[in-house]
Amino acid sequence: MGNIFELEHITKIYRNDGREFKALNDVSLEVCEGEIFGIIGMSGAGKSTLVRTLNRLEEVTEGVVRFRGKDLASLSDRDLRFERRSISMIFQGFNLLNQRTVLSNVEQPLRIAGVKGPERKAKAREMLEVVGLLEKENEYPSRLSGGQKQRVAIARALASEPSVLLCDEATSALDPRMTGEILDLLKKINEERRLTIVIITHEMSVVEKICDRVAIIDEGELAEIGDVKEVFSDPKSRAAKKLVFPSNPFDPSDPDGRLIRIVFDGTKSDEPFIANLVEQTGLKVNIISANTKSVGGIGYGQMIVELPKSPEDSKKVIDFFRSGGLKVTEVGSYE
């Protein structure tokens, strides 16, 4: 499958009162057609700026953004507006017109495209049907819940038959249940309509749930990019490790005790390896915390254990896990 977006050496510098702020620094990446691509980072990492370069809501200072092979910066205002109809966007704050009905909101992009009355209404209703809100067509947005508002925004975004949907923290203002509903809806749309989706988020759970590939942005730079499975089971950059392994809230029982983190991907998650350790080596470890989650239907997890006191025993334990194909890192060091 081809690339829908190609970003080459994107740098964005904001100038304010003579001071410069580098929001993006030499970011290069591709988004493939039909995938759900996640961009994750802490707030202020530059991910919102990055997504806005994809439809040129933000101009890049340096570098090239290509959409379906076209350099966006080379387009005239008119051509850019035309291309934007293929790049829809939804937002954290929904950005619906409060003084217009739900139906009229969904009609908006069609009106811009010059679609006439009855056809426009029919199309807008079809989109509301997709998001399951047809019965609300005559309501005003203020009467809807956050999740419903975002579904209206999705219907509006789909109305112009785009080839990409950009989601800027689209679930950050929603509670976990509504977030789940919206993500399920996005996944469904991705599958049924072959729509490429780019998701900006600061929540790892969003990426875990629906993304195929993920880029990690840290202080304006691309820290890591790859399949979600790989990044989750084997994060290489410091930023990725921080996101995948949240800091450990537990201390070892002994102040001098050493903690290790064992990471297991789908292939190892059904083996009783702690029991095997005890059986085969006779050594015991203290389980401090354990966490398994399903990423794309495969179980990934990590366990933090406290090692036996003697260095020799510790080494034996680590070697045992390593020989079993598990990744072992000492806690406290992300490097």
| Alpha-carbon span 306 to 234, nearest angstrom | 21
Q: Count residues binding another protein (CB under 8 A).
A: 30
**Residue among 89 and 195 whose Cβ is closer to another protein:** 89
> Using the rule CB under 8 A, which residue among 160, 171, 196, 233 binds another protein?
160
Residue 148 lies near another protein (rule: CB under 8 A):
no
Return the residue of 61, 108, 237, 248 that touches another protein, per CB under 8 A.
108
Please choose, out of 80-88, 178-186, 254-262, 280-288, the segment that lies near another protein by the rule CB under 8 A.
80-88
Does the protein bind another protein through residue 99 (CB under 8 A)?
yes
Exactly one of 9, 71, 97, 278 binds another protein (CB under 8 A); which one? 97
| 21 interacts with another protein by CB under 8 A | no
Taking the complex as a whole, the smallest distance from the CB of residue 7 to another protein amounts, in Å, to 18
Q: Which is nearer to another protein, 57 or 73 (CB)?
A: 57
Q: Write out the two tokens for 39.
A: 């961009």
Tell which one of 87, 102, 124, 317 touches another protein (CB under 8 A): 87
Q: In angstroms, what is the minimal distance from the CB of 81 to another protein?
A: 4
Our finding on whether 98 is near another protein (CB under 8 A) is yes
Which residue from 57, 134, 298, 328 is in contact with another protein, where contact means CB under 8 A? 57
For residue 235, state whether it binds another protein (rule: CB under 8 A).
Answer: no
- Span interacting with another protein, options 4-12, 28-36, 81-89, 265-273, rule CB under 8 A: 81-89
All residues at 6 or more sequence positions from 96 whose CB lies less than 8 Å from its CB, including other chains: 105, 141, 149, 152, 153, 156
The answer to whether residues 29 and 55 touch, using CB atoms and an 8 Å cutoff, is: no
Shortest Å, Cβ 144 to another protein:
11
Indicate which single residue of 41, 141, 147, 308 sits in contact with another protein (rule: CB under 8 A): 141
Q: Does 201 bind another protein (CB under 8 A)?
A: no
Per-residue HEC secondary structure of the chain comes to: CCEEEEEEEEEEEEEECCEEEEEEEEEEEEEECCCEEEEECCCCCCHHHHHHHCCCCCCCCEEEEEECCEEHHHCCHHHHHHHHCCEEEEECCCCCCCCCCHHHHHHHHHHHCCCCHHHHHHHHHHHHHHCCCHHHCCCCHHHCCHHHHHHHHHHHHHHCCCCEEEEECCCCCCCHHHHHHHHHHHHHHHHHHCCEEEEEECCHHHHHHHCCEEEEEECCEEEEEEEHHHHHHCCCCHHHHHHHCCCCCCCCCCCCCCEEEEEECCCCCCCCHHHHHHHHHCCCCEEEEEEEEEECCEEEEEEEEECCCCHHHHHHHHHHHHHCCCEEEECCCCC
| Span of 76-84, 122-130, 186-194, 216-224 interacting with another protein by CB under 8 A | 76-84
CB-based burial label for 127 (10 Å; 0-12, 13-18, 19+): buried
Least distance to another protein, CB of residue 97, Å: 6
**140 vs 245, beta carbon nearer another protein:** 140
CB of 189 to another protein, least distance (A): 17
Indicate the residue among 133 and 244 with the shorter CB distance to another protein. 133
Asked whether position 226 contacts another protein by CB under 8 A, the answer is: no
Does position 74 interact with another protein (CB under 8 A)? The reply is no
**Binding interface with another protein (CB under 8 A):** 55, 57, 77, 80-85, 87-89, 91, 93, 95-100, 108-109, 111-113, 140-142, 160, 166
